[in-house]
Structure 1
Amino acid sequence: MTSRDKYHHGDLRRAVLTAALDVIRTDGPAALSLRDLARRAGVSHAAPAHHFKDRTGLLTAIATEGHDLLTAALSAAADLRDAGVRYVRFAVDHPAHFQVMFQPDLLRPDDPELLAAKARSYEQLRAGVATLPAGRTTDPELTGIAAWSVAHGFATLLLTHNLDRPLGDRTPEDAFRALADAMFKGPE
């Protein structure tokens, strides 16, 4: 590879993001190094900085992408329970994004793209609460926090393999549906 080739990559941004997601999935966000990611992408050690500036910029880009993927996953939810199921499925399908998205100490909290992406995903979470029948909640904000807490906690326990034995042969989606029904079932 010539020095010119090292600086002209087809889609360096995507290549670095993909390599970073692989590292996070296997070793966690603490294992990220821009120098290592540049080596994996076959470019100079300085090349990733052109897209992300630094490690925090890279993690912020991953979190932004994660919130956009979560928004897409939640946008087709039929109701609050389905939104929770889709949240869990998102975490299973995108574990590296999920690890980074909710760790503000890793991110640039004032990044406009991140703030916009977070607002979009949060709005989709709130939309699920709006599907509840009238009278099912006196405080939609707290109901949304409760539902999010249940889905996020379940997804976190699932990804850290704390639910392997309790779930047995049940899929995460089926287990979460049963959990949501037991917790949020209204009066008969």
Structure 2
Amino acid sequence: MTRNLYSVKKPEASPAGKAAAYHHGDLRAALIQAATAILKERGIDGFSLREAARRAGVSPAAPQHHFGDARGLLTAVATEGFRLLGEALARADSAAADRDGRIRGQGRAYVAFALDHPAEFDTMWRCARIDTSNAAYGAAAGQAFGLLRAAVAGIPFEGGQVPTASDPKAIACWSLVHGLARLALDGALGPGEAARGAIDAMLEPVLDCLTV
């Protein structure tokens, strides 16, 4: 058989190339997952885009296609955090029978989310490190706050609402549960499970303040 002189052997894909092909279609999600793991281990000050790319198995330049820079990837982590928080608040809201139940349920869900997702929760509020003008971030954050605002007002929440004005009562409720969650995460209520025990003991008295 005559060999085709113009045929060439295709070079084998590099490990990074193989990883990129593997992640084709889900690279964005893989990078968010990698970034979240770094944030959980090292905090936002220990985060780097290069390390996120390494953990996702792609080249250092690959994240730029989806996020542009580290700020973009951190914004995506924060957006995902607000999406998950909104889902948790919505579940609590739908399970309640009245206004007080909605506020209490959302308060419990808020604190539980913070304790179960500390990396996302911390990143969601680091406004100097994320792009708060990002449309997806704004929609996810607005959805979460809209659920609380509707519960405090005692009105149904319409999906997709984005509140345009602050509500003092809603801000007060938010501040109480956020402060409790932050105290627990910062170690002010004791280490690990001790913090959860302290929250269990004081959560109901705190929620009593939200329903007055």
| Residue in structure 2 matching 1:28, options 36, 43, 66 | 43
Residue 172 of structure 1: CA displacement?
Answer: 2.9
Residue 64 of structure 1: CA displacement?
Answer: 0.9
Aligned to 1:143: 169
| Paired residue total | 177
Aligned to 1:170: 197
Structure 1 spans left out of the alignment, 5+ residues: 133-139
Higher relative contact order (CA 8 A, sep 6+): 1
Aligned to 1:37: 52
Do structure 1's residue 66 and structure 2's residue 89 form an aligned pair? no
Residue 127 of structure 1: CA displacement?
Answer: 2.1
Find the structure with the greater CA-based Rg: 2
Do structure 1's residue 118 and structure 2's residue 146 form an aligned pair? no
Higher percent of residues as helix: 1
Aligned to 2:91: 76
Q: Provide the rounded CA distance (Å) in 1 between the counterparts of 2:41 and 2:187.
A: 14
Percent identity among equivalent residues? Answer: 40
Q: Provide the rounded CA distance (Å) in 1 between the counterparts of 2:195 and 2:28.
A: 40
Amino acid at match of 1:125: L
Structure 2 spans left out of the alignment, 5+ residues: 1-11, 97-101, 156-165
Residue 126 of structure 1: CA displacement?
Answer: 0.7
Aligned to 1:54: 69
Q: Provide the rounded CA distance (Å) in 2 between the counterparts of 1:42 and 1:169.
A: 36
Do structure 1's residue 180 and structure 2's residue 207 form an aligned pair? yes
Give the conservation status (yes or no) of the 8 Å contact 1:89–1:173: no
Give the conservation status (yes or no) of the 8 Å contact 1:88–1:173: no
TM norm structure 2: 0.76
When residues 152 and 66 of structure 1 are mapped into structure 2, their CA distance, relative to the original with a 3 A threshold, is same
Residue 96 of structure 1: CA displacement?
Answer: 0.8
Aligned to 1:136: none
Aligned to 1:5: 18
When residues 144 and 30 of structure 1 are mapped into structure 2, their CA distance, relative to the original with a 3 A threshold, is same
1:149-185: per-residue Cα shift (whole Å, max 9, x none)? 01000000111111127x678363453123222x346
Do structure 1's residue 93 and structure 2's residue 116 form an aligned pair? yes
| Residue in structure 1 matching 2:182, options 148, 156, 164 | 156
Q: Provide the rounded CA distance (Å) in 2 between the counterparts of 1:44 and 1:168.
A: 40
Residue 36 of structure 1: CA displacement?
Answer: 1.1
Q: For structure 1, which segment, 60-69 or 168-177, has the greater mean C-alpha deviation from structure 2 after superposition? A: 168-177
Aligned to 1:137: none
TM norm structure 1: 0.85
